[in-house]
Amino acid sequence: MRIVLPITALLLVAGCSGADGGQADRSATPSQSSSSSSSAPPKTSTTSPVAVSAPPQGTPIGAVIGWVEAGKPADLAGFHTANRDGATTQLNHGVAFTTPSGRTTCMSGMTAFDDGELACLTQMSEGPAKPAAVGPDGQWIPGWIDYPGDTLTVGGLHGDPGQFGYGTGAELSYGQRLRFGDYQCRTDQIGLFCVNYAHQSGVRISDAGVQPFGCLRAVDPGADELVGLKFGC
């Protein structure tokens, strides 16, 4: 029998930290010389430069993926466990990680039956409202995010913490990226960015909400789906 645990407590495992930082693009114009025979022609690049700043809303998915991939790779071996109250759980093929602020924690599926789908819990300053169809039973979690790749839902009705009952994973430091299954995620001070290669989709998760990329578009979840927001390809 599953033990019911308060989900909101899982979001308080670490304090908030981090500050916004500014970055500037640099450009250069190659000098020209007609008098020196030893001057070599300026080199040109055949690839587009990767943006220094995190991708804003509306950025094409290829550029989002490029920015995520430009992060510093993290060792996946350090993210196969979850910790809760001093107890460590091995997640087998599952992956768990937490942002440096402690406001978002994510975990992938641990069995072949869930295809390694990614779920996250985040503390949102103003999450989606509880649907009218949700009754008094269960617990409405506005910051529960399910991201299988071709869909993205925000907010859900949960009577127990599910996989998050195991606790939280290791910290994924700002600027680091983590590749697992069809996913790759990179942390930034303005939010967590994750992309799904199989469906060419992406999402930014922060306390301000979610920002979809790629094929994901807002759709009506319907009365039978007890979620706050839904995006689909």
Write out the chain's pLDDT in tens, 233 residues: 333 344 544 544 444 333 343 333 333 333 333 333 334 444 433 345 677 899 999 999 999 999 999 999 999 999 999 999 999 999 988 999 999 999 999 999 865 445 679 999 999 988 898 887 777 776 889 999 999 999 999 999 887 788 899 999 999 999 999 999 999 999 999 999 999 999 999 999 999 999 999 999 999 988 778 899 999 99
pLDDT at 42 (0 to 100) = 41
Alpha helices by DSSP H, listed for 104-154, are none
Is 96 domain-assigned?
Answer: yes
> Largest Cα–Cα distance in the chain?
84
Is 24 domain-assigned?
Answer: no
Is 45 domain-assigned?
Answer: no
pLDDT at 63 (0 to 100) = 98
pLDDT at 163 (0 to 100) = 86
217 contacts: CB under 8 Å, gap ≥ 6: 231, 232, 233
- Indicate the pTM of the whole model: 0.79
Is 47 domain-assigned?
Answer: no
Number of residues assigned to the chain: 233
Is 44 domain-assigned?
Answer: no
Query: Exposure string (b/e) for 156-165, b if CB count within 10 Å is 16 or more?
Result: bbbeebbbbb
Q: Which residues pair with 213 in a beta bridge?
A: 202
Is 5 domain-assigned?
Answer: no
Cα 103 from Cα 1, distance rounded (Å): 29
Is 27 domain-assigned?
Answer: no
pLDDT at 26 (0 to 100) = 31
pLDDT at 3 (0 to 100) = 37
pLDDT at 160 (0 to 100) = 79
Phi, psi for residue 103 in degrees, rounded to 5? -85, -15
Six token digits for residue 161: 């913490």
Is 80 domain-assigned?
Answer: yes
Structural domain including 123 reads: 56-232
Tell me, what DSSP letter sits at residue 126?
S
Total of domains in the chain: 1
pLDDT at 186 (0 to 100) = 98
Are 128 and 122 within 8 A, CB to CB?
Answer: no
pLDDT at 47 (0 to 100) = 45
Angstrom CA distances, 225 to 28, 107, 161, stand at 53, 22, 19
Query: Exposure string (b/e) for 8-44, b if CB count within 10 Å is 16 or more?
Result: eebbeeeeeeeeeeeeeeeeeeeeeeeeeeeeeeeee
Report the sign of the C-alpha dihedral through residues 223, 220, 136, 164, in that order: positive
Six token digits for residue 86: 């001093």
102 contacts: CB under 8 Å, gap ≥ 6: 13, 14, 15, 16, 17
